[in-house]
Amino acid sequence: MVTIWAVGNASDRELVESRIGRPPRHHELEITTWELIELGREVSAVEMVRAVDLLHSASRAIAPFFDSYDAWLTPTLAQPPLPLGLLNKSYGGAREWW
């Protein structure tokens, strides 16, 4: 999923640049977005196809559950919520997901 997320961010960055006529400035995007853009630029076409295939396989494996049930309810959080804004901070952690 991170591969697809990162490539999507890299693609969106290029779309934004084409629409505003200049590259987005560093202060205009969150640091995690910049990290994902960098990761997305490193992904090969083969890696992207593999990631999409894995996502499709997972969705096909889960789909039969919905033959019997209309919804799958899960807890939103396994712990109390983090302070507001904490998830917007990044210290290079996106590379650890890769």
Is it the case that residue 81 has pLDDT exceeding 70? yes
Q: With a threshold of 0.75, does the pTM exceed it?
A: no
CA 62 to chain centre: 20
User: Measured between alpha carbons, how far is 41 from 27 in angstroms, rounded to an integer?
Assistant: 20
Q: How many C-beta atoms surround the C-beta of residue 16 within 10 A?
A: 14
Supply the mean pLDDT for the chain: 88
**Structural domain boundaries in the chain:** 1-59
Q: How does pLDDT run across 3-37, given as a tens digit for each residue?
A: 999 999 999 999 999 999 999 998 899 888 999 99
